[in-house]
Amino acid sequence: MSTSQEFITYILENIEVAGVITFRKMFGEYAFYCDGKVIALVCDDQFFLKPTIKGRKFIGDVIEAPPYNGAKNYFLIEEGIEDRKWFSRLIRITADEIPEPKPRPKKKRSE
């Protein structure tokens, strides 16, 4: 099973106030970004948030699961997705704790 476009739209609508939200289709599923930082994966219509200390504290009773076989555990967010205020706050808390992405090395020009 793969993620439906309806689920992606639903997620986008519920977290649009958390920051600059973008997503990319990767390996048949999706990676979500907030302000340029990868914050979550969406696989099989499930939302997997990168684990952070402050995110864990905010959620409380955390469910952890890997988004795909062989992956590290993420926070599986099932309850609260429909609560735009709570969900957006969780996304903001997570994005604030994740470090800025490392710059990619420049490609060398061949001569």
Q: What is the pLDDT of residues 35-63, one digit of tens each?
A: 999 999 999 999 999 999 999 999 999 99
75-102 pLDDT, tens digit per residue, is: 999 988 999 999 999 999 999 999 887 7
What are the angstrom distances between the C-alpha of 27 and each of 56, 61, 70, 93?
27, 30, 14, 27
* Burial grade of 38 (CB within 10 A; 0-12, 13-18, 19 or more): middle
Helix extents (H) in 16-72: 53-59
The full set of domains in the chain, from first to last, is 5-97 (3.30.1460.30)
State the pTM of this model: 0.87
Task: Kindly tell me if the per-residue pLDDT of 107 is higher than 90.
Answer: no
Instruction: Please give the average per-residue pLDDT across 15-27, as a whole number.
Output: 89
The conformation of residue 90, written as its DSSP 8-state character, comes to H
- Taking the C-alpha atoms of residue 27 and residue 79, their distance in angstroms, rounded to an integer, is 26
- Token pair, residue 77, equals 């967010």
